[in-house]
A and B are shown apart, each in its own frame.
Chain A
């Protein structure tokens, strides 16, 4: 589970996916593989359908054609029990955190645990503290309500909730948006650390070039409803595609100034 398998083990396999609204197809025969134990950064212009793909994979949006296999099972063909067991194995960090506003931080983190496991109260409380400390928060936030948290804290608590059941895959929707550069850097480091300790597979939708440089093993680019390129940063930088050129070599990119770093201490 933790060691990166030498042969590439595909955990999410998307084939020929078409998703659309009314007469417009947002995703047009899209293919994508996510390998076990990697951090995949997913980029694309605003409105290109990054969130649509994420939401389709996790089953929030219907699809018109194609197949999505997670851990080798197609969610559409799976029965109720199989679906629940797959849902148990992933965690999702929504862009705005999506913490339940009427529950405290502790109850938010315990919510999925209570749903799936029957654990003694004491263990539940200890796990909350362990999870909070893992995401770099002090245990004394546990009795606060989401409305009392700052933006960065909300993201961390939401991450703790996404990690509550020790999932194998986490979906992160713009995890560093709305954080200051220091906070965003910390969050990137946190994701890299957690990925290493827990052996996670991370599917990260992001616009943060720093995140792409520092933590992502591979980057997939979504343009015109298709993944037009997928590979490490070097491949992205070498690409001649005009959109990718302006994205990775633009004014805000640091590729020109500094050599690309790949991964945190790995």
Chain B
């Protein structure tokens, strides 16, 4: 900064001369604002104000706006300020900011705390109802699309479905195997550790078998798939929506549900039971391994005991749930994908909502199935 102040005042009777000098640019805007406040507050209502701008070295929109604000502040107090010796090349800029007005700048409204609380409750209720309706709409639309495809099988997008099946199921195999294997190991280890206290080691096999077949296998796999593929579906559909690709499909006479949603949902419905099956096997394998190495139960004994402990019903209970969970994951993911608005932030929000909602619904569904199977004695 130069030694000289950017704005200096010299009072001469009721005539005030302000001398601007140096660099009036964005960098100095904060300093300028302070000086302007000081000048307009200090002086006692001069009759005339002359602003001498001859010694300005650099000038930009910020400087021009500061000059304009200085003039306006004096005007508010009933004094006309006159700018002299402004270098001619800056005149256009000053004229430009002179037209800026704040008439259309409403003050922010005072918020009523009670009202905003009620408003946000209302919004939440509305959002919940809206998302329920959207999910029902989507289930209906998927059903209609499915019926239409059944009537005209040639319209079915097999390639697309196989592509999604590859992504959803085949590529998920390693991670699903690893996770379910580890879960099987952990359950067996915990079981052996605690059952040994009352000499019931061998019942670990029953526990691992029943738990994995009925609940853990399908639940772990469904949660993994919701996180892995559900989020991907939401992000894909969301960015297609953002870039008007969905609208483009619609205008070409395609039904986005038939083209985009149906192959994805069907891929999940086929893929999830398969993954559940291999996931359950991996968990049993892990459980058996831990029983042998940690619990001292020979593989022969383990298999013998497993055969006695579990029936085909246990397997059915687990695997029947898989397609329903797949349906829930697929529908939630696609609904959330279509809810994406224009912004990147909304894409992130809907993807989060998709995963959270589908995991929640998967667990709720599992609970409902538990009650159902208990009451039919399975």
Q: A residues bordering B, Cβ < 8 Å? A: 1-3, 100-102, 113, 116-120, 123, 125-127, 129-131, 133-134, 138-140, 145-148, 163, 165-166, 196-199
In the complex, chain B residues whose CB is within 8 Å of the CB of A140? 104
By a CB distance below 8 angstroms, the chain B residues around A116 are 26
A117 touches B27 (CB 8 A): yes
Choose, from B54-62, B123-131, B229-237, the stretch at the interface: B54-62
Q: Is B343 touching A3 in the complex (CB atoms < 8 A)?
A: no
Q: Does B254 contact A (CB under 8 A)?
A: no
Residues of A within 8 A of B346 (CB): 102
User: B30 at interface (Cβ–Cβ under 8 A)?
Assistant: yes
A123 partner residues in chain B, CB cutoff 8 A? 29-30, 33, 65
Query: Is B96 a contact partner of A2 (Cβ separation < 8 A)?
Result: no
Contact B33 A102 (CB under 8 A): no
Given contacts A140-B104, A165-B26, contact A131 B343 (CB under 8 A): no
Contact pick for B89, options A3, A117, A129, CB 8 Å:
A3
Among B33, B61, B104, B342, the residue within 8 A (CB) of A198 is B61
CB pair B26 A147 closer than 8 Å: no
A-B CB contact pairs (8 Å), 23 listed: A102-B345, A116-B26, A117-B29, A117-B30, A119-B30, A120-B30, A120-B33, A126-B69, A126-B102, A127-B62, A129-B100, A130-B61, A130-B100, A133-B100, A139-B104, A145-B342, A146-B342, A166-B60, A166-B61, A196-B92, A197-B93, A198-B61, A199-B89
Option from A125, A145, A199 in Cβ contact (under 8 Å) with B343: A145
Question: Interface range on chain B: under 10, 10 to 19, 20 to 34, or 35 or more?
Answer: 20 to 34
Instruction: Output the residue of A2, A140, A146, A198 with the most chain B CB within 10 A.
Output: A2
Residues of A within 8 A of B96 (CB): 134, 197
Against A, the Cβ 8 Å flags (1 = close, 0 = not) of B29-62 are 1100100000000000000000000000011111
A165 to B346, CA, bound (A): 29
Contact (Cβ within 8 A) B102 A129: yes
Determine if B102 and A131 form an interchain contact, defined as CB atoms under 8 angstroms apart. no
Distance, CA A1 to CA B60, complexed state (A): 9
In the assembly, what is the distance between CA of A165 and CA of B26, in Å? 7
**Bound CA–CA A146/B344 (angstroms):** 11
User: Residue B99 at the A interface, CB < 8 A?
Assistant: yes
Could you tell me if B65 and A147 are in contact, using CB atoms closer than 8 angstroms?
no
Q: A145–B346 Cα gap in the complex (Å)? A: 12
User: B242-259, CB under 8 A of A: which get 1 and which 0?
Assistant: 000000000000000000
Q: How far is the CA of A122 from the CA of B104 in the complex (A)?
A: 15
B118 / chain A contacts, CB cutoff of 8 Å: none
User: Which listed residue (B30, B58, B90, B97) contacts A130, Cβ 8 A?
Assistant: B97
Q: A129-B100, A199-B89 are in contact. List 9 more A-B contacts (CB 8 A).
A: A1-B58, A2-B90, A100-B344, A101-B345, A102-B345, A117-B29, A123-B30, A123-B33, A198-B60
B59: which A residues are within 8 A, CB to CB? 1
B57 to chain A, nearest CB (A): 10
- Give the A-B pair count, Cβ closer than 8 A: 78
| A149 closest partner in B (C-beta) | B342
Q: Which of A1, A116, A120, A197 has the most CB atoms of chain B within a 10 A radius of its CB?
A: A197
Whether, in the assembled complex, B198 has its beta carbon less than 8 Å from a beta carbon of chain A, the answer is no
> Does B341 touch A at the CB level, under 8 Å?
yes
> Taking the nearest CB of chain A, how far is it from the CB of B206, in angstroms?
53
Most buried by A among B58, B93, B104, B345: B93
Inter-chain CA distance A163–B342, complex, in Å, is 24
Q: What residues of chain B lie closer than 8 Å to A119, measured between beta carbons? A: 29-30, 33
Closest to B96 in A: A197
Residues of chain B contacted by A197 (CB below 8 angstroms) = 92-93, 96
- In the complex, which residues of chain B have a beta carbon less than 8 angstroms from the beta carbon of A3? 89
Query: Which A-B residue pairs are the 4 nearest by beta carbons?
Result: A147-B342, A102-B345, A101-B343, A166-B60
- Which chain A residues lie closer than 8 Å to B92 at the CB level? 196-197
Give CA–CA (A148, B99) in the complex, Å.
Answer: 26
Instruction: Quote the shortest CB–CB distance from B235 to chain A (angstroms).
Output: 15
Within the complex, the shortest CB–CB distance from A241 to chain B, in Å, comes to: 38
Which residues of the other chain, B, contact A125 by a CB distance below 8 angstroms? Answer: 105
A199 contacts across to B, CB distance below 8 A: 89
A166 touches B26 (CB 8 A): yes
B89 and A2: CB pair below 8 A? Answer: yes
- Once the chains bind, are A134 and B61 in contact (CB under 8 Å)? yes
CB distance from B69 to the nearest CB of A (A): 8
Which chain B residues numbered 93 to 139 have a C-beta less than 8 Å away from chain A?
93, 96-97, 99-100, 102, 104-105
Q: Mark B60-75, 1 if CB is under 8 A from A, else 0.
A: 1110010001000000
Chain B residues within 8 Å of A101, by CB = 342-345
A129 and B105 in contact (CB under 8 A), knowing A101-B343, A134-B96, A147-B343? yes
Q: Does B65 contact A130, Cβ atoms closer than 8 Å?
A: yes
Closest Cβ–Cβ distance, residue B138 to chain A (whole Å): 23
Who on chain A is nearest to B348 by CB?
A102
* Residues in chain A near residue B97, CB distance under 8 A: 130
Q: Please indicate the chain A residues that have their CB under 8 angstroms from the CB of B104 in the complex.
A: 138-140
Q: Smallest CB–CB gap between A71 and chain B, Å?
A: 15
Q: How far is the CB of B238 from chain A (nearest CB, A)?
A: 12
Residue on A nearest B64 in the bound complex, by CB: A130
**Chain B min CB distance to A41 (Å):** 23
Known: A139-B105, A197-B96, A198-B93. A131 touches B30 (CB 8 A): no
Chain A residues whose C-beta falls within 8 Å of the C-beta of B30 in the assembled complex: 117-120, 123
In the assembled complex, how far is the CB of residue B64 from the closest CB belonging to chain A, in whole angstroms? 8
Kindly state the separation between the CA atoms of A127 and B96 in the bound complex, as whole angstroms: 12
When distances are taken between beta carbons in the complex, the residues of chain A under 8 Å from B99 are 133
Cα(A126)–Cα(B64), bound, Å: 12
Residues of A close to B61: CB separation below 8 A: 127, 130-131, 134, 163, 166, 198
Q: How far is the CA of A197 from the CA of B341 in the complex (A)?
A: 38
